[in-house]
Amino acid sequence: MKLSGMSTLQGRLTSHDIRAVAARLAHPEDPLAEWHFEFGEWRKACAEFQQMERDNIVAQQKPSALALRQHRYVLFLLLTHGEELALQLMQTPVVKESEKKRLLEQTDAFLGTLTDSWHTWHGQVLPSHREALSGFLA
């Protein structure tokens, strides 16, 4: 057996890993205990992303190419992880459908916020749309 990739045997668990295990063990009766932990961590990352966006994009007269690319990179990471959380939730058995629906709506609100950020800062601006809105922007 190759052990080099087994971080648990080499003492390489991160604090995040340990907290996820603790969450699962603290609530053994809850099939979503670890999911809730991950959801909370993801939401914290989303909040940090908002701070990054405010400092590096909003506050800048002209954001640098590096800042825009970093913004896009973190956006993709957060979107991917959020979709993973949604998929895990949908595929978790023994959870009431109403509870899944509630949590999916919450996950989608964060995903929607991230998607709106994508369209805002990386979407294509069409002159015809600017013209249509010009009377409201003056």
Partner 1 sequence: MHAALEEIFRLREGRDLEIDPAVKTELHARFHERLEQFLREHNLKMSHAEFLAATREDYRNWRRNPRT
Contacts of 41 (CB under 8 A, 6+ apart): 16
Q: How far apart are CA 71 and CA 40, in angstroms?
A: 21
- What DSSP state is assigned to residue 32? T
DSSP code for 10: G
Among 10, 50, 64, 80, binds partner 1 (CB under 8 A): 50
Task: Indicate the residue among 31 and 112 with the shorter CB distance to partner 1.
Answer: 112
- Least separation in angstroms between residue 80's CB and partner 1 is 19
User: In terms of Cα–Cα distance, which of 122, 38, 108, 50 is closest to 79?
Assistant: 108
Residues 53-92 as x/- pattern, contact with partner 1 by CB under 8 A = -x--xxx---------------------------------
Residues that bind partner 1 (CB under 8 A): 39, 43-44, 46-47, 50, 54, 57-59, 105-106, 108-110, 112-113, 116-117, 119-121, 123-126, 129-130, 132-133, 135-138
